[in-house]
Amino acid sequence: MRSEGQTRRTTSQLTLSQRTRYILPAIALAGALAHTGLLWRGVARSRAFSARGRRYQRRVVTPVLRIVILGDSTGVGIGAQRPEDSIAGLLAAEFPNADIVNVSQSGARVAHVTKQARRCTRLGWHFDLALLHVGGNDVLRATPMAELVVASQALMEEMSRLAERTLWLGHLNIGLAPLFSPPYSWLMAARSRAAARVFATCADAHGAEFIDFSASNHSEHFLRARRDSFAVDRLHPSSAAYRYGYATAREAIRRCCGARMESSLAV
C-alpha cells in the first residue's frame, strides 16, 4: 500500500503536470499576440510613412513618348530618399522627351488601380506605355485568390484601352521585408508567390509583360542586400531597391516602346 506521503507527492506531480499543460500554451499564445501586436503597429507606422509621400511626374509640352504610371506606394516612390530616385524619376532622367503622368496612390490594390485607369480613359488620355506598380497590398491584406483573378482580368482589360503597351512591375517577396519575422515572413513569402502567379498568367493572356520581382533570382538579390534594400519603415523599397528595379525593367521598357523610346533618350 502507498503511504500518505507518496500519495501527496503523486497528487502534487499530477497537479504540476496539469498546470504545465495549460500554462505553456497560455505563454505561447501571449507571445504570439504580443508579436502580432508589434507587427501590426509596424504596418500602421508604414502606412503613416506612405501618407507623407508625393508621387513624381514630369509633363512635357511636345512629347515624343507618353507614359503613365499607375499603382500603389511603389508607384508613388515611397521609401526612396528623393522623388527622383523612384521608378518615375529614373525614367524621366533617362528619357527627357517623355511625358510622364503618375496617378499612383499609396495603399492601392489591383481593384483600385482599375479605377485609376478608368479615370484616365474617361479624361480621353491615351499612352504609348503604361507601367503598373501593384500587388503588394493585395499580398499584405490577403485578397482572396479568386477575387484577385477577377480584379486582375478587369485591370488588364482597362489597360488595353488606356495604353498601347503595358508593363507590370510586380511586387518583391514581401516575406523578405525586415518588418516580418517567422512565421509571418513565411506566410508573406507564400502569398507573394501565389499572387505573382495570378498576375503573370493574367498579363500574358492580355498581351502585357509582367516582371516577377518575387522570383528566386530577385529574392536572392534582395536577401543578400537586405540591409540596403528596404526603407526606414522596414517594409517599403529603398532608393537602392528602386534602382535595381529600374535596371531590371529597362530592357523591357525599351522593348515595349521601340523606336519612340530611342528618339526620346537623353544625350
Among residues 15, 30, 52, which one ends one of the domains?
Answer: 52
Question: Based on the domain organization, do 146 and 186 belong to the same domain?
Answer: yes
The pLDDT confidence band at residue 31, using thresholds 50, 70 and 90, is: very low
Whether residue 62 sits in one domain with residue 2: no
**Structural domain harbouring 133:** 54-263
Would you say residue 11 has pLDDT above 70?
no
Q: Note the pLDDT of residue 87.
A: 97
User: Which of 36, 52, 68 is a domain's end point?
Assistant: 52
Q: Are both 87 and 29 inside the same structural domain?
A: no
Q: What is the structure's pLDDT at 232?
A: 92
From residue 91, alpha-carbon distances to 17, 67, 164, 267 in Å are 65, 10, 18, 14
Helices marked H in the chain = 4-51, 73-76, 87-94, 110-122, 136-140, 145-162, 184-205, 216-224, 226-229, 239-257, 259-263
Entry pTM? 0.82
Residue 32 — very low, low, confident or very high, per pLDDT cuts 50/70/90? very low
For residue 44, the model assigns a pLDDT of 54
Same domain, 60 and 8: no
Cα–Cα dist 222/229, whole Å: 6
Instruction: Specify the number of domains making up the chain.
Output: 2
Do 11 and 72 belong together in one domain? no
pLDDT band at 205; cut points 50, 70, 90? very high
Amino acid at 232: V
Residues 100 and 187 in one domain: yes
**55 within 8 A of 88, measured Cβ to Cβ:** yes
Res. 17 pLDDT band, cuts 50 70 90: low
Q: Tell me which amino acid residue 48 is.
A: A
Do 42 and 94 share a domain, yes or no? Answer: no
Residue 95 belongs to domain with CATH number: 3.40.50.1110
Q: Are residues 170 and 62 in the same domain?
A: yes
On whether both 221 and 122 belong to a single domain, the answer is yes
Same domain, 34 and 81: no
Same domain, 85 and 10: no
Reply yes or no on whether the pLDDT at 8 is more than 90: no
Query: 4 with 62, same domain?
Result: no
Looking at residue 38, its pLDDT comes to 47
For 205-263, the DSSP string reads HTT-EEE-TTSHHHHHHHHHTHHHHB-TTSSSB-HHHHHHHHHHHHHHHHHHHTHHHHH
